[in-house]
Amino acid sequence: MNLILNNLRIPVEKDGRDEYIKAASQKLNVRETAIHIVKILSKSLDAGDKDQFYYEISLVVNTSDSFDNKENLPVYFDKIAKERESKNSAEWPVVIGFGPAGMFAALELLAYGVKPIIFERGKKIEERTIDVQKFMKEKVLDPESNIQFGEGGAGSYSDGKLFSRKINTEYINKVLDTFIKFGAPEEIGYVSKPHLGTDALCGIVRNIRNYILEQGGEIHYRSKMTDMLLSDNAIVGVVINGEKEYRCSSIYLAVGHSARDTFEMLHNKGIILEQKPISVGVRVEHPVEIINRMRYGEKYKDFSGIGAATYSLNYTDRKIRRGVYTFCMCPGGEVINASSEYGMMVVNGMSYSRRSSAFSNAAIVVTCQTDDYCSADPLAGVGFQKDIERKAFHAGGGKWEVPAQNLPDFLSGKASGSLNKNSCATGTVAANMHEIFPAFVSDALVTAFRTWEKTYPSFVSSHAILIGAETRTSAPLRITRSKEFESVNIKNLYPIGEGSGYTGGITSSAADAIRAVEAVLSSRSQHG
């Protein structure tokens, strides 16, 4: 008999499967030798009591069928995977983009027996990594192979967070199980805030690529879609690199949030796009020990078993209906120059699987409504981002160094005489962050920091530095689609993932792709 045991509390100092068994045996009142762990369902840190931290564990344990389940503990049954009806293998759908959405769309198509053709504007992950490192060391940017573009998408050079608040748990679990299948550690399936890190993600990306190729899919690199071929408001093909035409039955459009040239092409083709709100701001970075002490207290600030501390902060000015919040917090990570266009500066956060950097950082961003764009153009959000990025580039000196300002100086409105030590590999230059952003963004940031200072004085201290600009939190538009994931005015065009404007993050983008393929192929099956 497999039973689900919830709310097992394990002191963090005693974490391990032996302790889980001991706690389970006590709860069931049976010998430790009479049970074994089938599966760990969840594991989360309870840091509410600074004198004693616990892990809260949920387990599936196997015990004798004769066990008297007096407390009516829930019985665990493995879910049976849904059978997929094999589709016409003569169908050749095209997938544009090979980030999380593109990868999972391809995997799901293969599961239905359909072999996709994938076009990725950037390079393979191995070549892309060389280009990224060259940019960090020599400040030589390849606009088609960088933090934003290339196999694995922007998420490959990030913290690799794998949690989502938007999509059905069934699909999220499927995404996590797939990552595990291709090399991720099993713990991502049960820890409360799973992450992979850049080093792990790059290996998983290679494994997914090899599987797709082994199953008969095609992947073309350095292959940017520059045009779409339409007939009677339906997709009939694509043009790659401005010269080669490929005929296809459908397109799964997984271009990511930074494919601005693609968005412009779609607009020029008459594909319906709509504005959407975004958030912009800065990265705030502290020495990791500052955040550990703030979140863990003195007893656990140096305790290695629980890892670098995370935090989540938010502030809302209800009068003007504008929010300020933390985004993509990277404990034990680094701030990276994530630029992808000449003359435009954008930053992001990244970490490796061990999260062992001397610094912790997070985006602090301000919500921007479509009214802030001051234009009805569907691409106005792109222009809004570009204006900030252009100012950030010039504030950094125009040589790919990143503008920065010590937090107390930002709050007092004065220049930083010298900058705090930080993690940004391309270097930082003292700048006035107020000159980079619209006044409403800077003012909201100041108000939020002053509010948080009352509760977390160490957070708003001389140890903190602001690095900017953070503008690519999400796509600045939506490629308007129906409930069936199809463009509202172009048949057989299926915008998915971050670039669609309907999802955000690795997990939700991957889940979105699975749902889209499932919906499309199921619908076709029902209609003959």
The class that CATH gives domain 2-62 is alpha beta
Note the pLDDT of residue 343. 97
Write the DSSP string, 210-237. HHHHHTT-EEESS--EEEEEEETTEEEE
DSSP lists the bridge partners of residue 368 as: 278
The length of the chain in residues reads 528
DSSP lists the bridge partners of residue 505 as: none
Q: Is the dihedral of CA 235, 236, 242, 244 positive or negative?
A: positive
Contact between 232 and 221 under an 8 Å Cβ cutoff? The reply is no
Note the pLDDT of residue 525. 60
Distance CA 490, CA 478 (A): 14
Fold of the domain built from segment(s) 94-274+478-526: FAD/NAD(P)-binding domain (3.50.50)
Note the pLDDT of residue 83. 66
Note the pLDDT of residue 21. 97
Please report which helix (H) or strand (E) contains residue 260, including its range. Answer: helix 260-268
Note the pLDDT of residue 157. 86
CA-closest candidate to residue 222, choices 337, 323, 118: 118
Note the pLDDT of residue 69. 93
Note the pLDDT of residue 192. 87
Backbone torsions φ then ψ of 156, nearest 5 degrees: -65, -25
Contact between 449 and 460 under an 8 Å Cβ cutoff? The reply is yes
Is-cis flag, bond preceding 469, omega within 30? yes
User: pLDDT truncated to tens, each residue of the chain (528 aa)?
Assistant: 999 999 999 999 999 999 999 999 999 999 999 999 999 999 999 999 999 999 999 999 999 999 999 999 999 998 766 666 666 556 789 999 999 999 999 999 999 999 999 999 999 999 999 999 999 999 999 999 999 999 999 988 887 777 655 545 789 999 999 999 999 999 999 998 888 888 888 999 999 999 999 999 999 999 999 999 999 999 999 999 999 999 999 999 999 999 999 999 999 999 999 999 999 999 999 999 999 999 999 999 999 999 999 999 999 988 878 999 999 999 999 999 999 999 999 999 999 888 999 999 999 999 999 999 999 999 999 999 999 999 999 999 999 999 999 999 999 999 899 999 999 999 999 999 999 999 999 999 999 999 999 999 999 999 999 999 999 999 999 999 999 999 999 999 999 999 999 998 999 999 999 999 999 998 766 655
Distance CA 424, CA 139 (A): 12
CA-closest candidate to residue 158, choices 506, 508, 513: 506
Q: For residue 353, count other CB atoms closer than 10 A to its CB.
A: 17
Q: Strand pairing of 225-231 and 218-220?
A: unpaired
Distance CA 121, CA 146 (A): 11
* Residues forming CATH 3.30.70 domain(s) in the chain: 2-62
* Residues forming CATH 3.50.50.60 domain(s) in the chain: 94-274+478-526
Q: What is the pTM of this model?
A: 0.94
Residue 284, both tokens: 């705030």
